[in-house]
Amino acid sequence: MKTGSREIIKKFENAGKAFDILKTISVTKRAAMFKKLRQEIIDNLDNIVSVICKETGKVKIEPLSSDVFPSLGTLNYFMENLEENLKEKTFKSDGDTCKVKYKPAGAAFIIAPWNFPFLLAFVPVLNAVAAGCSVILKPSEITPKTGKIIEDLFRKAGFPRHTVQCVYGGADVVQTAIRQKPARVLFTGSTKAGKEIGKLCGELLIPAVLELGGKAPVIICADADLQRTANAVAYGAFINNGQICVAMSRVFVDAKIKEKFVKFLLKNAANIKLGRDYGKLAQPERIPYLKALIDDAVRKGAKIIFKGEKSEEFLSPVILDGVTPEMRIFREECFAPVLCLKSFTSEKEAVALANDSCYGLAASVWSKDLNKAEKIADLLNAGSIGVNEWIKGVADPGLPFGGMKDSGYGRYHCEEGVRFFSGKISYLISESKNTSEVNWLPYEPEMYEDFKTVIMLLLGVKKMSSKVSKSLSKLEHRMKR
């Protein structure tokens, strides 16, 4: 399934027409329209989950808990907070009234991935529509039907025709779409593809949010709740078969409690079942590459301490112990159920290991001492950091989401998202009755010295004197020319 160039151009023309209508709809009415959209999702819940499972190989619970549920949470967030998110700001400056207003930017282009095909398409689309933009959505080639569902949901919910339209295909479709100069671009995907998209957007001066790869570090302190932490790590490493950009892939454990922690972790991992808790990789052709990463780590001293059920079609969960920065798997994003363990002897060492990465998307710190944990978290280079938590902060609609370094730039969710898809417009409203202003043309020979004198007075360098008073009088006279 591929959308041709002429059809892409036509869809952008239609998006422009939809935007002309959307931008006239008040923020209050847009927020109210989301109630019908929410109902459409609820009415079609089982079908949405079924399509996601067929396209991705996910087990049934994951589309419900990790795709649809947080999407509904984002809908609720905007229904309650959109007016506040886009509220204009007013203040006084030197007697003038200053305002900052948010106006919808135009037609937006959103490129979504396959790993969470509903969540990572629907939420960016919702951010854009909440701002008053129309959207061209390009779902992954692996999950086109999920993208079509999102298009249909907005249509059935009564949004203006062509509010959301899908285009289908690969990199050439993305390039053609961006060359139509959408007002905004939001991409979720690999760092390699993100760099190309960022380069093209830069050439065309299109604002972009790039949410890219990750290699999330986990720091487990000696006083952590080991049962909770082990359960969280197993979930964070193996959810969706590890096919998640914020996967807990590099786990650093205080050497004093490592043995106890590993016992809890292995017990949890042993309960993870093929077909019930995880399915096949969406791209099984990557398995040789992933096995090469594991083999490289083993050759360099790492040990496989857990391996799940064997299958030719599946890459079973793997836990590697003794992973070091010299191993490829320490640095390369796996996008697979591979958990890497390493011990540390000081918090300083743990932070250094965590930050030793080209990525900076997510991280977490685990300790019963919340003050200590937050101090450690402040030293980490990541856009989203959890303390005794992992995925909640990443998915929470009230918190901005995005990365640092090779994990991309820009933020969406909450007010950050709707403001990204808006033009931030500055107003200055003067009520001056003067016929001129002090710095307007024509300039006079002595004006430089008078202006400098007054500046020094305002800065507190000079005090009021007859000379200063004379300069003030001359400048005031200029405003009544």
By annotation, the residues acting in catalysis are: 211, 245
Output the CA angle 162-166-172, nearest 5 degrees.
130
* Kind and range of the H or E run holding 476: helix 466-478
Amino acid identity of 98?
A: C
Q: What are phi and psi of 426, to 5 degrees?
A: -100, 135
Give, in order, the Cα–Cα distances in Å from 300 to each of 11, 185, 345. 52, 42, 21
Count of residues in the chain: 481
Closest by CA position to 162, among listed 24, 35, 10, 6: 10
**Cis previous bond, 397, omega within 30:** no
Instruction: Compute how many other C-beta atoms are within 10 angstroms of the C-beta atom of residue 421.
Output: 27
Place of tokens 């009564």: 158
Sheet with 96-104, strands from edge to edge, namely: 89-93, 96-104, 422-429
What DSSP letter does each residue of 129-163 carry, written as one string?
Answer: HHHT--EEEE--TT-HHHHHHHHHHHHHTTPPTTS
Residue 49 corresponds to which tokens in the numbers above? 């989950």
Helix (H) and strand (E) counts for the chain?
19, 18
Report d(CA 211, CA 118) in Å as an integer: 16
